[in-house]
Each structure stands twice: as C-alpha cells, then as structure tokens.
Amino acid sequence: MAAQTYLHLHPLRCLPFPLKIQNPQNQSHHFKQKPRNPVVCKLRVAVIGGGPAGSSAAEALATGGIETFLFERSPATAKPCGGAIPLCMLDEFSIPLNLIDRRVTQMRIVSPSNLVVDFGKTLKPHEFIAMLRREVLDSFLRQRAESSGATLLKALVTNLVVPTSTREPYVIHYTMDNCQHQLAVDVIIGADGANSRVAKSIKAGNYTTAIAFQERIKLPEDKMGYYENLAEMYIGNDVSPDFYAWVFPKCDHVAVGTGTVCSKSDIKSLQHAIRARVKPKIEGGKVIKVEAHPIPEHPRPVRVRGRVALVGDAAGYVTKCSGEGIYFAAKSGRICGEAIVKASEGGENMINEDDLKREYLRKWDDKYFTTFKFLDVLQKVFYGNNAAREALVELCGDEYVQRMTFDSYLYKNLASGNRWEDAKMVMNTISSLVRCTIMGREVEASAQKILSRVL
C-alpha cells in the first residue's frame, strides 16, 4: 500500500511537516534529548491482547490522555493458569476482594518420595495468597480499561504492516463481526501472549516455551472442603521433569495441572501422573474443563523495536522456578503504558524507540532483572533431578526459608534477611543437596539391582 494511503488512514496526515523518528536499528543506550515533534491530532496507540498485560497498559494509556484501542479476540476464554496472585497486587492494582475465589493460607509441597512439608507456617494473620479465575480477573481489567477511555475491539488481528518509512504509521488488519477492517496507529504494544503475532511482525526473535496443561475438576462437597484454603505443589520427574504440578482451589472446583519444557509431547502422561498422585483427594470429581497453553521461559531477544513494545508473555516475563506471570504481566503493561504517556507528554508529541527503551525497558530491567535471574538460578539448582528436588522440599521445612520466600513473593521484593541466618541457610542448602544426592544414588543403585534380578 502506498504511503499516501497510510496517511489517509492516519491522524498524522494533518501534520504540516514530516515526522523525524530515530533509526529503529540504533541500539545505543545513550539517550540524547531530542526535539519534540508535536502532533496536531492526539497520539494513537493500539494494544493487542486483552489479558492482564494488555488491559493494564490500555488503562494507563487512556488515563494519561492517549487515544487507545484494545484488541481482544476471545473475551470469553481464559489462559490456563493456576490463578495465584501476590498480596501486593490487590492494593497496587485495586483488585476488588469479591473477585477472590479462595484465600490460601496453607501450602503443601510434596517431594518425589511423597515427603510433605507445610509451607505456610510463617504467614501473618493478614497474609494470604489470592486465588482467582483468569476469566474473572481478565474481564474486570478489560472493563476498567474501557471505562478509563480505551476503545475495546473484540476482534482478531490478522496482520500488522510495519512501516518502511518514519512518515508512515503502523497499519493493523483485523477481523470483527466477519468483516475485514484496518486501523492506522502511531505506537503498538504487543500483549498477545507467547505466540505473539506482534513479536513476529517486528522480528523480535524466538524463545523457549513451556506448555501448561490443566484440568478443572469439580469435587464432591466433602473433598472440596479439604481444599478450602489449601494449595498443593508436587515435584518429581513423574509429574514434571523441570517444573512442578499443582492442585489449586477455585470457587467451586480445583485446578489440577502441570507444566514442562523438556517433555511437551508427554504432557498428557505427566498430567495422568499428577492425577494418580492426588487420586484419593480428587476421587469422585468431574472434569469440567481442559486447558493447555504455551508459557515463555525467558525474555525475548528484542522487546522494543521502532515504536512497538512487547509486554507480559509476549516479552517473556514469566519467572522460572515458580512459573509466576500474572503480576509481572500487569506490571509490565502498566510501566509501558505510563512510559508512553510520559514520553509523549500526554499524547501531544511523537515518540520513538529510544523513548520506549529509556522509559519502559530500563525501568523494568532495573526493577526486576535481579529477581528473574535469581529464580532462574534456583530452578537450575533444584529442578535438575529428583535428588535435588528432595533437598528443596527438605529446605522448605525451615521457617526462615519460608519467611524469606513469602516476603519476596507477597510483596515482590527480594527480601533482606539476617546475615547469620542467610549463612546458615546456604550451609543447610549445601548439606541438603549433598545428603539427598547421596541418598538418590543409593536409591537408584538399589532399583538397578532389583531390576537386574527381575530380568
């Protein structure tokens, strides 16, 4: 399509001079103050994806005076997800308490050998982990973005035309009500998940993805009472070779699921294994929904290119070890939306790649890079084999470990501990790893002897 057609679609056609936007290929981290490019018409931003990341971005944009379009293809569906959110998110994102299905105050982690550790002994009276259904949370966040001024489009984005000139807008092709439409915008936020079409359009690079598989099971009343305020995590090669499996309580059912990177083709057998391990607790239950979805394992090589930014799963913001993504999705969306508002001075000026890197990426990385790296290391240490997993469960019985874990999770800051206790924790970690590795070898050797006799 010719540039003239783009400009006909685009509000910047009213500019009396061409826009001057810095070359998107420039990856410099030295940001110079650039002359402002005032726009006669308000800056237009499209947010593609209406989950926590996209909705939070759209709300921040609309609240800041930006003309905002929020695309969501399937408002009625929800991503398979444990649905746990940290305590700080309730206040920070003003989540109404009536959206919470369960307030989890008890957590149990179960080792490969079925050693059980209660992991909630140090929670304070006012502390809990909120369990929500994603369809409920996502719908609320979208509605709030819409009430803030964003235009919600229940549409499927089919193509994104990236401009070849700084004078041209981005053009979104989408299907709505069985009709083809186009929309020209100045800036795009990709919040469209692990298989992001936006990321592909800007050649943001690939990343490793895990797959999450979950069954929602409606239990008999007496068995549902067992999970009133209890969440369970199971680890072991049988249920996940590199993550964990879970049983999380919802309003009137439990979510039973697992995730894996290494054995995606075996996901159903892994799900069968977690069901087998919890069989006495879910017996008599009825499967009411089956869900599966890819989950990113690490950030994409490129998260900003030109006037396009990626947030949430599209950017790769899911923590290893815990697999947490809801809070980080919403937070990245909000930071990105606020960055655009600030850089454009409320939509009055054009922005460029350097603006997005400075106001969005730098702030995000400064705040969360250490957290993601720390959890990455934990996964490599404790999820490599069953012996290490046994050591992890053993350590989880320590109250200091529990307090540090919950302080970091509930309030989203790496907790500052006591130096003496930290030293003891390191020594206990080494001791547990050594002891469980030896035990693991002995168990493996015994199993091989028994197997050889049978054969």
Quick: pLDDT tens for 53-93. Answer: 999 999 999 999 999 999 999 887 777 677 899 999 999 99
Displacement of CA 198 from its chain's centroid (Å): 17
Amino acid at 102: R
Distance CA 138, CA 109 (A): 28
* Residue 426: pLDDT over 80: no
Distance CA 175, CA 155 (A): 6
Tokens of 37: 């490019």
Q: Model pTM?
A: 0.84
Amino acid at 5: T
Distance CA 267, CA 251 (A): 26
Looking at every residue in the chain, the average pLDDT score rounds to 84
Distance CA 69, CA 176 (A): 14
- Comparing 78-92, 160-174, 195-209, 436-450, the range with the smallest average pLDDT is 436-450
Radius of gyration of the chain (CA): 24
* Residue 18: pLDDT over 70: no
Phi-psi region of 203 (alpha: psi -120 to 50; beta: other; left: phi over 0): left
- Check if the beta carbon of residue 259 is closer than 8 Å to that of residue 243: yes
Please report the pLDDT score of residue 74 as a whole number: 86
Distance CA 190, CA 313 (A): 9
- Of residues 48 and 12, more confidence is placed in 48
Distance CA 246, CA 278 (A): 10
Across the range 267-282, mean pLDDT stands at 95
- Comparing 174-178, 278-282, 383-387, 428-432, the range with the smallest average pLDDT is 428-432
Distance CA 272, CA 253 (A): 18
The predicted-structure confidence for 348-373, as pLDDT tens digits, reads as follows 999 999 999 999 999 999 999 988 88
CB neighbours of residue 181 within 10 Å: 13
- Check if the beta carbon of residue 291 is closer than 8 Å to that of residue 258: no
The predicted-structure confidence for 115-168, as pLDDT tens digits, reads as follows 999 988 889 999 999 999 999 999 999 999 999 999 999 999 999 999 988 778
Confidence of residue 32 (pLDDT cuts 50, 70, 90): very low
Looking at mean pLDDT, say which of 73-77, 292-296, 439-443 comes out highest.
292-296
Helix (H) or strand (E) segment spanning residue 407? helix 399-411
- Of residues 262 and 60, more confidence is placed in 60
